[in-house]
Chains A and B, each alone.
Chain A
Amino acid sequence: MIGVALKAGAVSLLRVLFMGILLLNASLTMAAVEVNQQVYDPDANRQIAEFKRLLSDPNIQQWLLQSSVTEASENDAEGLKDNFSLLLTQIRVRKEYLFAAWEQIAEAPELIVENWQLQMSATESLRAVTYMLIFLFVGAGLEWLYAQYTRHRLLGLELQKPGTLQQKIRSAVLRALITLGGLLFFACGSIGVFLSFSWEPLVEYLVLEMLIVILMVRVGITISRFFLAPRLKELRLVPFSDAQAEVVHRWASILIFLATLNTANTNIFDRLLANIPGEGLIHSALSLSLMHHLLLLAAAQIAIYQTYQVFIPVSHSAKKRVAGKFWAAYLSIFLIVIYLLWVLDITLLRQSLIIVGLLIPLTHLFRVWVDYLFDQAEHEFQTSAAFIVPAEATENAELVDPKESLDNKPRPYDNYRPIARRLTRFVLVVLAIMSLMIVWGFNIFNLSSSPTIADKLFEVGIDVIAALLIADLIWVWAKTYIDKRLADYQPPEDGHAPGPEARMATLLPLLRTILIVTLVSMVSFSILASLGFNIGPLLAGAGVIGLAIGFGAQTLVKDVVSGIFYLIDDAFRVGEYIEVGDLRGTVESMSVRSLIVRHHRGAVHTIPFGELKAITNHSRDWVIMKLEFRIPFDTNMKQVKKLIKKIGAELLENADFGHSFIEPLKSQGVRRMEEFNMVLGVKFMTRPGEQWVIRREAYHRIRDSFEANGIHMAERNVKVEVLSDMPLNEKIKQAVMGAAQAAIEQPVAKGPVPDEP
């Protein structure tokens, strides 16, 4: 547990800065754009009009079309060199700007204030501040109002201690939603009042920027609180201690605030500069943004250091400590490099570096976090299952090794863990690719029409990566699932009926192979297709071959396919006694094509699955066994009933097969009357396979019990009534017997008792 916490801790440095860096990126971009576009031309409007006129000229259009085609072919050879020299020129220009900015750094604020006052009088500024105060007050008032109705709910959420991870996430989400609802009210109130005032354009811009800063910072802090919950250990979604969460949350808030403020400042300068032409102001704006960004960088560095300080002392393993050190150093150097690149104004490189540089730690971080969540869920499951398990454990105590049962804690979410990991990685990589494309100026939805080799390569690369990622995702999910099922499968011990998992053991490896073959062929086809190969002939060839094989191996395919369906139907399992047509016996084994059944007298039948029609399975769930006894008409039925009930109770107590009873032995009373006797019905219900032993014992005991209580089994007898008082001599007796012979020799009506294994 501590290990996980530490790992996440060391990496959490990254998460803190995630937001900050994103915003930094945004602000840097804006600053760069600002500087690039500052070459103000008083004639711009006139020139633009001219340019528009030229563009609408058909001759010009044709010329443009032609030159673009020729340019495209030249572009590749000259592109690299051109780009490089362009970069150098850019850096040179930037250097001059930087020198100028450095010289002006002292008077920059003054200059900006001066220009500000040119734009707006002090009265107007003060009025703007008044307006702003008013609309913030109204916004805050509405939020307060909202809080009055939701506060008790919020307090309840914060006070209840969630037991499970699900409850925890639910409470955290609800809490964040309630907070965001308040924020919405604030935004509605303040924006409503903001709209009801009329503003000067510049003031409106300024006020809007401030409003955005306030809202962004509050949303950011709410998100940070959602994960970190610095004051509520119970709702924390990351494995941090109170102190750690506190520090991380504080720095996240500070960085979010600084970054948004920076963005707003840059935007405002931008706006100010757009209204006032002049070289001097550009430089002072640049020097100010230099300072701002330096400040942000310093804050980020302090944040990294402080977070590092909070996390490192608690980590015990040297490896984790090294990892923590590595990530801290990585981040701090990363930020410095980004800052330097910004200072030199190499936009493309900087943005790509940001994306790639963040992708690696973020992937790692999310992996750790997903692991942590799964650990939590599993831990909860195990602790809650601990109350249920012992009942079963005592039953199976003899079967399961105690040591083994400790290791075999239930891990219900293990299937999903690798999938969740892959999925987060997948999403992150896709996001990174998307942003890289945006940065590099590729139009994602328009790639097919782009003719250059670089574009083509890029397109192919994206196709390949997407195909591989998706195939990987599917494969990992299927493999985890199948492997888990196979690992859980325990082959039945001798003499025990196999569970329903037995068929899976046959089926799953087959499925796995089919899946990997399908995936590999599909991915390779799609890669080939994206490379530009025509895969039509390949597919057709595969189709023809498949057809040929299909015809040739028609029965084989039929066997395999119907085998799979029998397995899915769970019609029989290894070890069950089944009846197929005339054949009957115990299922010994199943192959992909056929089923091997052993008759109870030893003969082995091999039946292809394709030949199977109706199957009777004698080994499922329960068996009812009915016994019949012929007893004389003068038998006391009450006594019989009592005796059988007693025997039923005795059999239930039997150590060998007592547990096999589902319903005990009981008398069904007289089933029918026959010529010379009554037929007493007796039945019982047992687990399949146990009925024979029980029947034997039941016969035995009932007979003994009847004997002991003077009930004799009815015997066939023929009474011959001789209507004479005279003593019969031997001859006459012979004659009488002869006459009765016909009655004696009547065939026995009932057929034999069915065979048994």
Chain B
Amino acid sequence: MYIVLSKTLHQHNSSKSCELVEFHNNSQGNTMIRSLSIVSGLIIFLFVTTHLLNLSLGIFSIELLEQSRPYFFAIWGILPFELALILSFIIHTSLGLRALYLRNTLRMSSQDRVQLISSLLIIPLLIPHIIAIKMGENLLGLEPNFIDFLTIMWIDLPLEGLRQVLLLMVVWVHGCIGLITWLRLKSWWAGAAPFMYPLAVAIPTFALLGFVEAGRDAVDRYNAVQAQGQYSSYNYSVNESATYPKTLQADSTGQSATAKVELSAEQMGERVAQIESVVRSAFIGYFALLLLVMLARYIRLRKNRDWVEIHYADGVVIKSKIGPTLLELSISNDVPHANLCHGKGRCGTCRVRIIKSDSTLSPAADLELAMLKRLNSTADTRLACQVEPGAGVIHLERLLKADVLPQDLHSSAQEKDKSATQSHSEAST
């Protein structure tokens, strides 16, 4: 998918597209990791979207929801796709942890903060869902279906329903932020965005409404069943009641209300306990991993105790602890600084001209060099998102206005570069 996109852009005026750099530098480590992160994220996002679209049908009826499920999940049942999904999930998670480890400062723009927190929340919210589905399928012989789950979530375990709703919100927010941050640099995005944004709100809204409608449907049916007195003693403990929906479903499809599941109650309890322990250990494992990453990050950043002072060309002066990049320093000190790709080194909008500096600037990596070369920049220009300054005083100038739009970048990228280089030469003479 990614390559296709790059190819279409190739047919464009190729010198302008940011992706081209990635395409050329695909072999290099950093760029590849970023592409990997995007591709895996896209696969997961696609899965989530199909899932939510399916859920939206719950607005009409719970039966429609269930009947349409196989069609929506059709491709994810095919082995290569399933494999890709699982792989993407693992890759995206570990890349996220890696990014957390490499993060220099936890002070960031609100969007980045939302992105980080949502990413950290996804796993603990997701663990019970995945494990319940997969292990329920394998151990208890329950085929996952919406009717069961909605019943569990609305009647037996309302906390699960709440968790599920939270999960949906967090996943969608995380996905949308990632997707939009990536897409906004495309030349076609400016035209498409006004039509895409409503979609980003509509899909989860309808999914949630579907969830609520179907759930209320399930509750009504349950109440109707109870009123008939067929379940006089409804006092299952929370987990044992996982068997109950089966019977309800049987009931609702017109079969005998007293149909029994294949497993005995004892076995059932055993396996449920097994599932619970797996969930618990998954939680513990995740938090241990997170703790480990944070610890490693702390050790990495421990040495940053010195101060750097940055003088901007328009007179603003900030002073901060070293460690973060120039861009992060700007943002954490409320200095407006253009950063369309949020410090990923893809857009070049954060580039600055170093007027003079007595601190040690981290040397430019291949990624930055390629970007600077593409922008025809002079030798004293750097990408603020890539430079980690050492202790000292830096005088610099932000070359783009903070309110630059992606479409500005595409339409007049070259002119701007020209004017920028002109101003350089004027300044140097």
Q: Please give, as numbers and ranges, the residues of chain B lying within 8 Å of A152 by CB-CB distance.
A: 403, 405
B162, B165, B208, B401: the one contacting A159 at CB < 8 Å is: B401
Q: Please give, as numbers and ranges, the residues of chain B lying within 8 Å of A156 by CB-CB distance.
A: 403
Cβ-defined contact, B201 with A144, below 8 A: yes
A123, A141, A145, A149: the one contacting B158 at CB < 8 Å is: A123
Cβ-defined contact, A134 with B201, below 8 A: no
Cβ-defined contact, B209 with A196, below 8 A: yes
Residue of A nearest to B155 (CB): A123
Cβ-defined contact, A126 with B193, below 8 A: no
Cβ-defined contact, B197 with A159, below 8 A: no
Cβ-defined contact, B194 with A126, below 8 A: no
| Contact (A133, B204) CB under 8 Å given A123-B155, A159-B403 | no
Residue of B nearest to A127 (CB): B158
- Main secondary structure on B side of the interface with A: helix
Cβ-defined contact, B165 with A133, below 8 A: yes
- A97 interfacial by beta-carbon distance below 8 Å: no
| Contact (A131, B155) CB under 8 Å given A149-B194, A159-B403 | no
B158, B334, B405: the one contacting A130 at CB < 8 Å is: B158
| Contact (A231, B334) CB under 8 Å given A133-B165, A159-B401 | yes
Map CB proximity to A onto B179-208 as digits: 1 under 8 Å, 0 otherwise. Answer: 000000000000001100110110011001
Cβ-defined contact, A134 with B197, below 8 A: no
Cβ-defined contact, B161 with A134, below 8 A: no
| Contact (A155, B201) CB under 8 Å given A127-B154, A130-B158 | no
Measured between C-beta atoms, what is the minimum distance from A250 to chain B in Å? 15
Cβ-defined contact, B402 with A137, below 8 A: no
- A23 interfacial by beta-carbon distance below 8 Å: no
Cβ-defined contact, A138 with B208, below 8 A: yes
Separation of A159 and B403 alpha carbons in the complex (Å): 8
Measured between C-beta atoms, what is the minimum distance from A403 to chain B in Å? 35
Separation of A401 and B61 alpha carbons in the complex (Å): 90
Separation of A123 and B219 alpha carbons in the complex (Å): 12
- A142 interfacial by beta-carbon distance below 8 Å: yes
Residue of B nearest to A198 (CB): B216
- B284 interfacial by beta-carbon distance below 8 Å: no
Separation of A126 and B158 alpha carbons in the complex (Å): 6
Cβ-defined contact, A141 with B209, below 8 A: no
Separation of A158 and B334 alpha carbons in the complex (Å): 12
Cβ-defined contact, B165 with A138, below 8 A: no
Cβ-defined contact, B159 with A134, below 8 A: no
Residue of B nearest to A122 (CB): B158
| Contact (A131, B334) CB under 8 Å given A137-B204, A145-B201, A159-B403 | no
Residue of B nearest to A134 (CB): B208
| Contact (A130, B162) CB under 8 Å given A149-B194, A155-B402, A159-B402 | yes
Separation of A710 and B412 alpha carbons in the complex (Å): 77
Q: Please give, as numbers and ranges, the residues of chain A lying within 8 Å of B409 by CB-CB distance.
A: none
Cβ-defined contact, B336 with A159, below 8 A: yes
Cβ-defined contact, B161 with A127, below 8 A: yes
Q: Could you say which of A130, A138, A159 has the most chain B C-beta atoms within 10 Å of its C-beta?
A: A130
Q: Please give, as numbers and ranges, the residues of chain B lying within 8 Å of A122 by CB-CB distance.
A: 158
| Contact (A126, B159) CB under 8 Å given A137-B169, A145-B197 | yes
Contacting B at CB under 8 A, from A110-161, are 122-123, 126-127, 129-131, 133-134, 137-138, 141-142, 144-145, 148-149, 152, 155-156, 158-159
- B166 interfacial by beta-carbon distance below 8 Å: yes
Cβ-defined contact, B165 with A130, below 8 A: yes
| Contact (A141, B162) CB under 8 Å given A134-B212, A152-B405, A231-B334 | no
Separation of A197 and B212 alpha carbons in the complex (Å): 9
Measured between C-beta atoms, what is the minimum distance from B238 to chain A in Å? 11
Separation of A257 and B197 alpha carbons in the complex (Å): 31
| Contact (A148, B154) CB under 8 Å given A129-B162, A130-B165, A155-B402 | no
Residue of A nearest to B203 (CB): A141
How many residues does chain A have at the interface if contact means C-beta atoms less than 8 Å apart?
26
Instruction: Count contacts between A and B, CB distance < 8 Å.
Output: 62
Cβ-defined contact, B212 with A148, below 8 A: no
Map CB proximity to B onto A152-185 as digits: 1 under 8 Å, 0 otherwise. Answer: 1001101100000000000000000000000000
Cβ-defined contact, A141 with B402, below 8 A: no
Cβ-defined contact, B201 with A141, below 8 A: yes
Separation of A446 and B326 alpha carbons in the complex (Å): 69
Q: Please give, as numbers and ranges, the residues of chain A lying within 8 Å of B198 by CB-CB distance.
A: 145
Separation of A142 and B197 alpha carbons in the complex (Å): 10
Map CB proximity to A onto B146-169 as digits: 1 under 8 Å, 0 otherwise. Answer: 000000001100110110011001
Cβ-defined contact, B212 with A131, below 8 A: yes
Measured between C-beta atoms, what is the minimum distance from A343 to chain B in Å? 39
Measured between C-beta atoms, what is the minimum distance from A242 to chain B in Å? 9
Cβ-defined contact, B204 with A148, below 8 A: no
Map CB proximity to B onto A244-256 as digits: 1 under 8 Å, 0 otherwise. Answer: 0000000000000
Separation of A126 and B204 alpha carbons in the complex (Å): 20
| Contact (A126, B161) CB under 8 Å given A137-B204, A145-B201, A152-B403 | yes
Measured between C-beta atoms, what is the minimum distance from A641 to chain B in Å? 58
Q: Please give, as numbers and ranges, the residues of chain A lying within 8 Å of B402 by CB-CB distance.
A: 155, 159
Separation of A152 and B208 alpha carbons in the complex (Å): 30
Separation of A130 and B194 alpha carbons in the complex (Å): 30
Separation of A123 and B155 alpha carbons in the complex (Å): 7
Separation of A145 and B193 alpha carbons in the complex (Å): 11
Map CB proximity to B onto A216-234 as digits: 1 under 8 Å, 0 otherwise. Answer: 0000000000000001000
Q: Please give, as numbers and ranges, the residues of chain A lying within 8 Å of B162 by CB-CB distance.
A: 126, 129-130, 133
Separation of A148 and B194 alpha carbons in the complex (Å): 8
Q: Could you say which of B159, B201, B336, B405 has the most chain A C-beta atoms within 10 Å of its C-beta?
A: B201
Q: Please give, as numbers and ranges, the residues of chain A lying within 8 Å of B403 by CB-CB distance.
A: 152, 155-156, 159
Q: Please give, as numbers and ranges, the residues of chain B lying within 8 Å of A131 by CB-CB distance.
A: 212
B166, B193, B405: the one contacting A148 at CB < 8 Å is: B193
Separation of A201 and B204 alpha carbons in the complex (Å): 27
Measured between C-beta atoms, what is the minimum distance from B45 to chain A in Å? 17
Residue of B nearest to A159 (CB): B403
Measured between C-beta atoms, what is the minimum distance from A126 to chain B in Å? 4
Separation of A659 and B78 alpha carbons in the complex (Å): 100
Measured between C-beta atoms, what is the minimum distance from A179 to chain B in Å? 14
Separation of A141 and B402 alpha carbons in the complex (Å): 25
Cβ-defined contact, A138 with B205, below 8 A: yes
Q: Please give, as numbers and ranges, the residues of chain B lying within 8 Å of A231 by CB-CB distance.
A: 334
Separation of A123 and B158 alpha carbons in the complex (Å): 6
| Contact (A142, B201) CB under 8 Å given A152-B403, A159-B401 | yes
Q: Please give, as numbers and ranges, the residues of chain A lying within 8 Å of B158 by CB-CB distance.
A: 122-123, 126-127, 130
Separation of A145 and B195 alpha carbons in the complex (Å): 11
Residue of B nearest to A142 (CB): B201
Cβ-defined contact, A130 with B161, below 8 A: yes
Cβ-defined contact, B204 with A141, below 8 A: yes
Residue of A nearest to B202 (CB): A141
Separation of A231 and B110 alpha carbons in the complex (Å): 14
Cβ-defined contact, A141 with B205, below 8 A: yes
Contacting A at CB under 8 A, from B374-402, are 401-402
Q: Please give, as numbers and ranges, the residues of chain B lying within 8 Å of A148 by CB-CB distance.
A: 193, 197
Q: Please give, as numbers and ranges, the residues of chain A lying within 8 Å of B200 by CB-CB distance.
A: 141, 145
What are 27 sample pairs from A and B whose C-beta atoms fall under 8 A apart?
A122-B158, A123-B155, A126-B158, A126-B159, A126-B161, A127-B161, A130-B158, A133-B162, A134-B165, A134-B212, A137-B204, A141-B200, A141-B204, A141-B205, A142-B201, A144-B201, A145-B197, A145-B198, A145-B200, A145-B201, A152-B403, A152-B405, A155-B402, A155-B403, A159-B403, A193-B205, A196-B209
A-to-B contact residues, CB < 8 Å = 122-123, 126-127, 129-131, 133-134, 137-138, 141-142, 144-145, 148-149, 152, 155-156, 158-159, 193, 196-197, 231
B-to-A contact residues, CB < 8 Å = 154-155, 158-159, 161-162, 165-166, 169, 193-194, 197-198, 200-201, 204-205, 208-209, 212, 334, 336, 401-403, 405
Closest CB pairs A-B (n = 10): A126-B158, A141-B201, A155-B403, A148-B197, A134-B208, A130-B162, A123-B158, A145-B201, A138-B205, A137-B169
Q: List 12 other contacts, CB 8 Å, given A126-B162, A137-B208.
A: A122-B158, A123-B158, A133-B166, A134-B208, A138-B205, A141-B200, A141-B205, A152-B405, A156-B403, A159-B402, A193-B209, A231-B334
